[in-house]
Structure 1
């Protein structure tokens, strides 16, 4: 790929990690945007490739080990060509953000950051809290049970039903443990940034990609959206993304609602027909493919564990925690559905009060900007009406993960991609086409405002 660069002068290595079912081509526009902003003599770009396609089924741990090995091999190759890397950045898209976080922990444990300075860590639409939904209803129960078993190791980890290395905790909880190598390594980066879709992300919803206890974007018809100057219609103001508006006068006769309901029903007829005739076929095909890929993934994992896949696991199976493990949350994985009986915690209860933000920190419903002091200086508190959103009925360990990751400090940017319904792909312009142009605004903001060279 010609946009990666080959100048011996570059001392900063930027590693891009794609997501589930992905491949390096998904990050081609991102890589080209980086290259346009920073020439070869300033930045060396590595687009990780060993987790391509069905290899992403193999889990976050194995994926992190593969990326870690790619980084080490790339630096060694550059060193042989008399190019010294002194700074490093890791950028993850979707599942790739979790793989990158695991990789950071491995690099930290190996003393990597004692010789090479960690600069930027950024994620785009990454499900930091997993993908189990806190919504109510039988359909969510079925999806959480079925979905976790259709993506092999990655599915179990994303739905947090795994028991990582017999710790009694899912991998994502260990990944956010304040005493883990993962958090210790993440804290060393000069800047940590995330971009999160507020609508139309069918792969990872706002609360998990934005590391949030609430979702102030559930009904955008009732709020006014505030954009960052220069990035209008796409990047929201992280300190005050929305504010309440007065409800419009409604038609007291009720005819307006009847007409709107009829129009909505008619407009959805093609969707209903598609669901009736095509979705059953798609589900069967998906489940068959998932079974085949899971079998292949399990075979690859067994070969990896035996050291027959080109990586010696012993090189990366390091102690995960700086101090002893905390007590496991008892039965949290089996009882998660019962914890999600309600979509939101009941206002005024002890449970809801226990999850409220400390008074001296920005409220989670005001854009999710929890950051280091430099970010606070960049985004001072703004007066004005506040849109309060109720606390989601997350699992106990998810609340702990939010707190731990917020304590590390992320600069969080809500993104409103609404001209295309596939915002998960558009946020990084996964395919170079005009309908994904809103994602170019996101990349421009990241490169102009957040990326440190």
Structure 2
């Protein structure tokens, strides 16, 4: 079921947007949890479906326009039935968080928020900074070149190699630019929060889901975790999730064992490239090519106004700045990396010669947390600053029972291994304003 109807009167519309290769069913647990928790409240739960499946290849912009259209149609439908929608909350999962950020920009521009109060905006495992690997070595460069070519428009946007309309900049950079409507729309919400997996998220790593220039969870054995009372050992404190364990000076020195461990962590991806790339990836790339062609055709029809949406209605003025097997394959390719840091922050950084043709890095001040700063691009650092200015409550999530934490964080599937998703949902709804 895509929505839940409530009694006539003042209504709070709650919109849940699914992620890449997803469908509304992926968010069924969150939908059911809202319904159960607020059974006596006047809520209407709505799960847009126009981006289901391979339609998520079509890009954040097109996906955002589709979702906006569905929301407008839902508002019309409810109003015709005599229901007064005066509050709205938007929740995005994975890529759906970026689609949601685009959609609320359109809603803001069209004046929807002048009559409807934006209340809660939450993302779960959303790549706010894209999915490029913040690394400086050869294998990472290969991934950052190969990755954008596997997911059509969405791939280019997620790896920030696209040029968004007349801005000439990546869409994610525009989405986080304070001069554009998307950030203004985000600032309208009374509450903004995000949940980010700290480990084993093969699709969206911690730094991008948490909008962070550091990854304090790179060495889990070196940390003390600070959980929120009542939600341990899953949800950690906002702003103070971890601290380093105290060790003597001898323990701080690199040992043969720790150095060997770091090398071995690189072995799976190297093995993948040598053994698996010529075999399994062939099917993945063939499917990607087929879906990219189909996506391009859909985008062309959309741009020509032949896909059921008047494009001009959703093209806001911009400021110019002068299926499971496929999903599993993509996750394995994306997760075969460690993370690396800017020069001076890590003694185990690979040669940077292979990254000489990549975008230049902007080196910010050392992160206040004391953890090393990742080798992000200048656009990513700018996005972090802008989104920090708007303000998010950030909750790191430690899923212990399953190594597919991207699905477990929202309990996308049933089974004991996904039960920790209930703790995440409980925390989220304990602070959800109705």
TM-score (normalizing by structure 1): 0.82
1:46-445 matches, cutoff 5 A: 46-247=46-247, 280-320=278-318, 324-327=319-322, 343-346=341-344, 354-356=364-366, 363=368, 365=369, 388-445=370-427
SS where residue 193 of structure 1 aligns? strand
In the alignment, the residues of structure 1 paired with residue 240 and residue 182 of structure 2 have an alpha-carbon distance, to the nearest angstrom, of 30
Unaligned 5+ runs, structure 2: 323-338, 347-360
Tell me the number of residue pairs that the alignment of Structure 1 and Structure 2 aligns: 400
C-alpha spacing 1:131/1:272, structure 2 compared with 1 (3 Å) = closer
Q: Report whether the alignment pairs 1:16 with 2:26.
A: no
Distance apart, 1:212 and its partner CA: 0.6
In the alignment, the residues of structure 2 paired with residue 107 and residue 273 of structure 1 have an alpha-carbon distance, to the nearest angstrom, of 47
Task: Identify the residue that residue 336 of structure 2 maps to in structure 1.
Answer: none
Distance apart, 1:298 and its partner CA: 0.3
SS where residue 149 of structure 2 aligns? coil
In the alignment, the residues of structure 1 paired with residue 272 and residue 384 of structure 2 have an alpha-carbon distance, to the nearest angstrom, of 38
Unaligned 5+ runs, structure 1: 328-340, 358-362, 366-387
Distance apart, 1:270 and its partner CA: 11
C-alpha spacing 1:427/1:10, structure 2 compared with 1 (3 Å) = farther
In the alignment, the residues of structure 2 paired with residue 97 and residue 270 of structure 1 have an alpha-carbon distance, to the nearest angstrom, of 30
SS where residue 101 of structure 1 aligns? helix
RMSD: 3.0
C-alpha contact (below 8 Å) 2:157/2:171 kept by paired residues: yes
Distance apart, 1:280 and its partner CA: 4.1
SS where residue 86 of structure 1 aligns? strand
C-alpha contact (below 8 Å) 1:18/1:93 kept by paired residues: yes
SS where residue 147 of structure 1 aligns? helix
TM-score (normalizing by structure 2): 0.85
C-alpha contact (below 8 Å) 1:420/1:435 kept by paired residues: yes
Task: Identify the residue that residue 452 of structure 1 maps to in structure 2.
Answer: 433
Distance apart, 1:277 and its partner CA: 6.7
C-alpha contact (below 8 Å) 1:94/1:126 kept by paired residues: yes
What does the per-residue CA deviation read over 1:74-99, in whole Å, with 9 as the maximum and x for residues that have no partner?
01011111111110011000000000
Distance apart, 1:10 and its partner CA: 5.3
In the alignment, the residues of structure 2 paired with residue 219 and residue 113 of structure 1 have an alpha-carbon distance, to the nearest angstrom, of 43
**Mean CA deviation greater in 61-70 or 392-401:** 392-401
